């Protein structure tokens, strides 16, 4: 196998890892919790009255879900080490697997070493029209007060 083919395979392996890494969760993404049921349209919408609002601290990982230098460096080192093993198509497989393992290990180490930040958020307790309770946590009050009639739409609270 010539040098061009080896380089192409290494680039292909690293590119695959970067594409797969782009599928990671988005930081700050919230999902509805509690007694929210999907309606026919596929949207989550509930109506109720705000019972309480509490200021809470949320821990947010800085850079979580992003591909950083740790993943890239790990992929390169893993690819180089994997390339030292075997011969022929086994060598190619070892290179790709080494790059994948190195990227995963590098990303995990980087993520574990990042400091988490505490941010203020507001936890709303809402008594829904069906009598159940729902809590929603978001970064702003949106000028919502206790006693306001609200709509919970896809995990976001707003007055109506």
Asked whether the predicted pLDDT for residue 127 surpasses 70, the reply is yes
Question: What residue ranges define each of the domains in the chain, with the CATH number in brackets?
Answer: 1-28+65-113 (no CATH), 31-63+115-160 (2.40.50)
Strands (DSSP E) along 5-96, which ranges?
Answer: 45-61
Confidence of residue 41 (pLDDT cuts 50, 70, 90): very low
Pick the residue with more confidence: 112 or 71?
Answer: 71
How is residue 46 written in tokens? 């509930």
The answer to whether 141 and 147 have CB atoms below 8 angstroms apart is no
- CA distance to 14, 29, 63, 156, per residue, from 8 (Å): 10, 36, 30, 46
Its pTM stands at: 0.43
118: three-class secondary structure by DSSP: strand
Compute φ and ψ for 110, nearest 5 degrees.
Answer: -65, -45
Can you state the percent helix, strand and coil of the chain, rounding each to 5?
35, 30, 35
Cα–Cα distance measured from residue 132 to residue 135, given in angstroms and rounded to the nearest whole number: 10
């Amino acid at each position: 196998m010539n040098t061009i083919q080896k380089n192409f395979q290494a680039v292909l392996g690293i590119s695959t890892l970067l594409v797969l890494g782009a599928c990671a969760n988005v930081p700050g993404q919230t999902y509805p919790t509690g007694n929210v049921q999907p309606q026919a349209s596929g949207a989550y919408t509930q109506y109720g009255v705000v019972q309480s609002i509490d200021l809470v601290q949320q821990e947010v990982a800085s850079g979580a879900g992003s591909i950083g230098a740790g993943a890239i460096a790990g992929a390169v080192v893993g690819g180089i080490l994997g390339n030292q093993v075997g011969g022929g198509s086994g060598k190619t497989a070892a290179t790709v697997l080494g790059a994948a393992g190195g990227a995963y290990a590098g990303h995990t180490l980087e993520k574990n070493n990042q400091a988490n930040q505490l941010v203020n958020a507001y936890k709303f307790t809402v008594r829904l029209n069906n009598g159940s309770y729902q809590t929603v946590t978001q970064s702003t009050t949106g000028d919502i007060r206790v006693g306001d009639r609200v709509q919970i739409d896809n995990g976001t609270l707003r007055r109506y």
